Amino acid sequence: MIRSLSRLTPVLATLAVFLAGFIACSLVYPNFASLRVVMNLLTDNAFLAIVAVGMTFVIISGGIDLSVGSVIGFTTVFLALAIERWGVPPLMAFVLILVICAAFGAAMGAIIQYFELPAFIVTLAGMFLARGVSFLLSTESIPITADLYAHLSEHAFRFEGGSRLTVPAMIMIAVVLAGMVLLHLTRFGANVYALGGSRQATALMGINVARTTVLIYTLSSVLAGLAGIVFSLYTSSGYSLSAVGVELDAIAAVVIGGTLLSGGYGFIFGSFLGVMIQGLIQTYISFDGMLSSWWAKIATGLLLFAFIAFQQFTLHLARRSRRAPAGVHP
Amino acid sequence: MALRLPRIGTSQIVALAVILLANWVVSPQFFDIRLQDGRLFGSLIDVLNRGAPVALLSIGMVLVIAMRGIDLSVGAVMAICGAIAASLADSHALPVVLAAALGAGLACGLWNGLLVAVLGIQPIVATLILMVAGRGIAQLITEGRIVTFTSPDLAFLGGGSVLGLPTPVVLTLGMMALTLAIVRGSALGLMIEATGGNPRASALAGIGTRLITVAVYMWSGLCAALAGIVASADILGADANNAGLWLELDAILAVVIGGTSLFGGRFSIILAVVGALIIQAMNTGILLSGLPPETNLVVKAVVVLAVLLAQSPRIGGHLAGLGVLFSRKKP
C-alpha cells in the first residue's frame, strides 16, 4: 500500500498544486470557484489535453514527439479546404485526416525504429514537413461554415447558471479516459512502460519492439489529428499558423504531471492535471486583466523547474534507498 | 584523426557548392559582388550576412551536442540578450551594453549548465525550462513593447561593415576563430569529445566533466547572446516575441548537417558553420527562384531526413563513421 502510494507521489503533488492554485484563485476572485470557470477550463484546453495524452505515451516509452503542433495546424487547414473547397462531407473529412495522421505517425515511428535515429530529430523533421505542407495548402485563415460545425458548437450539456459541457470537452474527457484504460490496463500499455524502462530488456523479453514503437507514434499523431479536429471545432476555421508551439505546452504538461522524461514512468491523469494547471494560470491572468500574458510563460517555466527538481530529488532518494541492504523493504 | 577530418568534410562542402550552383542557375547574378560605399553587396554576401545568427548559434550548439547534450534555449536567450541590448543602447555606452547582454547570455548558460551538470537533469528538459520561460523574461525586459533604439554604435554591429565585410560576418568569423583557438588549441576539444563519448569513463580518467559541461553551456549562452545582439542591431530594435524564434531548431539542424552526431563524440565547428550556410543558401535560393517561401519548410524537412538517413547507423555505417559505437540513447 505504502509502495503504491509512493508511486503516485508525483501525481498527488500535481493534484495538490492544482487544488492549491484553484483555491488561491478563488480566494482572490470570489467568482472564480464556479462551475462555469471549470467548464471553460475543460473546453479551452481540450485540444491540448488530447495532445498531452498522446505525448504521455511517447514520453513514457522514452521518446518525444515534436511534430504534434504542426499536425494540428495541418489538420485544421486540411479540414477547412476539404469541407469548404473540395466539398467533402465533414464526417468523411474527419476520417480522411485521421487516416493521413496515422500514416504520418507510422512513418515517423518506422524511421525512428528501423534507422535507429533519435526521436527528437526525426519528429523535428516531421514538424517542419507538416507545417510546410500546411503552408503550401493555404496561408490564409479559412472559415468553416458547414452545418455540422454550427450544430456541434450548439450541442452541449447545459447546467444551471449558464455553464456548458461542450463537445470538445466531452471528446477530451473520453480521450483521457480511453488513454488511461489503454495505458494502465492493456498489454500495449505495459509494453509502452517496458520500452521506456529498457529497450534491450524489452526486446529480450520477446516483446515486439518495432511494432510497439510504430504504434506509439501512430497513436500520438492520430491524437494530434483529433486535437486538430477539436481545435477546428473550437475556432470554426483552418489556419496554417494555428497551434504553433503546442508541442512545448504538451511536453510541459506531461512533465508537470509527473512523467519522467527519461521514460518508464508516468500517468495520463498527471498529464491531464498538468494541462489544467496551465489553463488555470491562463484563466487567472485573464481574470486579473492587469497582468500580461507573458507571465504565463514565466509561471509555466517556474513550475517546470519545480517539478523537475522534485523528480530529481525523489529519484535521488530512490537510488539511496536501493543501496540499502536487501530485506529492509518487504 | 587528423587524417580523417578532411574526408568527413567533403560531403558538406560539395552540398554547399551544389546549392550555390543551383542558386546561380535560378538567378544568374547570384555570384555578382559589387563594392559600394566601402561595403560589399551581392547575393553571396547576403547569404553570409543572413546566415550569421544561425552560424553563431551553431558554434555554441556544436560543442553542446558534442557533449551529448542539447540547448533548446538559444532562441529565447537571443530574445533576452537582444532585449537587454536594445533597451540599454540609447542610455549607456556600447561597452556597458555589450557587457550587460553578453553577461546575461553567460548567466543563462550557467543556469542551463548547473541544471545539467549538478542537478543531473536531462539536457533536453533542462534547457526546455529556459526555452519556455525565456521569452517571458524577454517580454518582461521590453515591457511587452517592441523596443527601438537609435544608437549608431550598436547599429554598426548589425548594419555596418569592416574591410568591406558586413559586421555580423566579421563577428561570426571572430567567434569561430576564438572558439577554434580555445577548443582545438588546447586539450579542451579532446576532453569535450571524450565526455560526449563516455561521460563516466572520462570522469574516471580525471576529466572534470562537470566543469566542462557548465563551461560549454555558458559558451553556448555567450554565442546566443552575440547572435541576439546582432539580430537586434540589424532591425534597430528588439522584438521579444519573434527574435530568434525557432532558431534553436535551425542551429541544431546546422550542427547535424555539419556531420556532428547527436549521440555525442566527434565534432567539427567549421562544418557546423558550413551547415548554417547551407541552410541559409537554401533559404536564399528558394526566395530567388520565385518559389513561394512556404516551400522552405518542406525542403528543410526533406534535407534533414536525407542527412539523417545518411548518418543512420543502419545505412551510413562506416559512411558516417559515427554513432555505431554508441548505444542508442536519447539526445
How confident is the model at residue A329, as a pLDDT? 44
DSSP secondary structure letters along B63-127: HHHHTT---TTHHHHHHHHHHHHHHHTTTS-HHHHHHHHHHHHHHHHHHHHHHHHTS---HHHHH
Strand partners, B237: B148
User: Strands A156-158 and B237-238, how do they pair?
Assistant: unpaired
How confident is the model at residue B313, as a pLDDT? 64
Q: Which structural domain range is residue B60 located in?
A: 53-244
Q: How confident is the model at residue A237 (pLDDT cuts 50, 70, 90)?
A: confident
Domain boundaries, chain A: 2-322
Nearest to A128 among B128, B300, B312 (CB): B300
* pLDDT tens digits along B185-231: 888 888 888 888 888 888 888 888 899 999 999 999 999 999 999 99
Interface size between A and B, measured as CB pairs under 8 A: 136
How much of chain A, in percent, has pLDDT values that exceed 70?
A: 95
How confident is the model at residue A269, as a pLDDT? 93
How confident is the model at residue A5, as a pLDDT? 58
pLDDT reading at A49 higher than 80 = yes
Q: How many domains does chain B have?
A: 1
Q: Is residue B198 part of a domain?
A: yes
| Grid coordinates belonging to B158 | 548589425
Mean pLDDT, rounded, of chain B: 84
Q: State whether residue B262 sits within 8 Å of chain A by CB.
A: yes
List of chain B residues whose C-beta atoms are within 8 Å of the C-beta of residue A262: 122, 330
The residue in chain B having the minimum alpha-carbon distance to the alpha carbon of residue A63 is B330
List of chain B residues whose C-beta atoms are within 8 Å of the C-beta of residue A290: none
How confident is the model at residue B321, as a pLDDT? 43
Of A90-94, A146-150, A182-186, A190-194, the one with minimum mean pLDDT is: A146-150
List of chain B residues whose C-beta atoms are within 8 Å of the C-beta of residue A118: 262-263, 329-331
List of chain B residues whose C-beta atoms are within 8 Å of the C-beta of residue A117: 308-309, 311-312
pLDDT reading at A47 higher than 80 = yes
**DSSP reduced 3-state for A238:** strand
List of chain A residues whose C-beta atoms are within 8 Å of the C-beta of residue B312: 115-117
How confident is the model at residue A322, as a pLDDT? 57
How confident is the model at residue A323, as a pLDDT? 54
A2-322 belongs to CATH 1.10.3470: yes
If 0-12 CB within 10 Å is exposed, 13-18 middle and 19+ buried, where does residue A276 land?
buried
Q: Is the CB of B304 less than 8 angstroms away from the CB of A128? A: yes
How confident is the model at residue B320, as a pLDDT? 44
How confident is the model at residue A165, as a pLDDT? 85
How confident is the model at residue B312, as a pLDDT? 67
Alpha carbon distance B268, B90 (integer Å): 39
Alpha carbon of B194 to those of A71, A323, B109, B268, B323: distances in Å?
A: 38, 29, 21, 14, 14
Question: Residues A242, A248, A254, A257: is their CA dihedral positive or negative?
Answer: negative
Q: Which residue has the higher pLDDT, A100 or B120?
A: A100
Q: Is residue B123 part of a domain?
A: yes
Q: Is the CB of B128 less than 8 angstroms away from the CB of A304? A: yes
Q: Is the CB of A308 less than 8 angstroms away from the CB of B126? A: yes
List of chain A residues whose C-beta atoms are within 8 Å of the C-beta of residue B140: 294, 298
How confident is the model at residue B142, as a pLDDT? 86
Which segments of A155-293 does DSSP mark as H helices, in order? 167-185, 187-197, 199-204, 209-235, 246-256, 268-288
Q: Is residue B322 part of a domain?
A: no
How confident is the model at residue B324, as a pLDDT? 38
Q: Is the CB of B136 less than 8 angstroms away from the CB of A295? A: yes
Q: CA of A154, closest CA in chain B: separation in Å?
A: 35
For residue B199, the 8-state DSSP code is H
Q: Which residue has the higher pLDDT, A141 or A316?
A: A141
How confident is the model at residue B7, as a pLDDT? 55
pLDDT reading at A248 higher than 70 = yes
Alpha carbon of B49 to those of B161, B225, B280: distances in Å?
A: 11, 17, 9
Radius of gyration of chain A measured on its C-alpha atoms: 20
Q: Is the CB of B124 less than 8 angstroms away from the CB of A121? A: no
pLDDT lower than 50: segments of chain B: 1-6, 316-331
Q: Is residue B44 part of a domain?
A: no
Nearest to B132 among A119, A124, A301 (CB): A301
Of A165-169, A269-273, A324-328, the one with minimum mean pLDDT is: A324-328
Alpha carbon distance B132, B142 (integer Å): 17
- Residue partners of B159: CB distance under 8 A and separation at least 6: B166, B167, B233, B234
- Residue partners of B143: CB distance under 8 A and separation at least 6: none
Q: Is the CB of A118 less than 8 angstroms away from the CB of B312? A: no
Q: Is residue B4 part of a domain?
A: no
pLDDT reading at A12 higher than 80 = yes
Interface of B with A in 286-315 (CB under 8 A): 292, 294-302, 304-305, 308-309, 311-315
3-state secondary structure A296-314: HHHHHHHHHHHHHHHHHHH
Alpha carbon distance B220, B204 (integer Å): 26
Which segments of chain B does DSSP mark as H helices, in order? 5-26, 43-66, 74-88, 94-117, 123-142, 152-159, 167-184, 188-197, 199-204, 209-235, 247-257, 269-289, 295-311
Identify which of A199, B47, B171, A185 has the alpha carbon closest to the alpha carbon of residue B179: B171
Q: Tell how far CA B292 is from the center of its chain.
A: 26
Nearest to A132 among B121, B122, B301 (CB): B301
* pLDDT tens digits along A128-167: 899 889 988 888 888 888 888 888 877 777 777 777 888 8
Identify which of A138, A132, A129 has the alpha carbon closest to the alpha carbon of residue A78: A138
List of chain B residues whose C-beta atoms are within 8 Å of the C-beta of residue A73: none
Is 0.90 topped by the overall pTM?
A: no
- Residue partners of A228: CB distance under 8 A and separation at least 6: A47, A71, A72, A73, A74, A75, A76, A79, A97, A101, A243
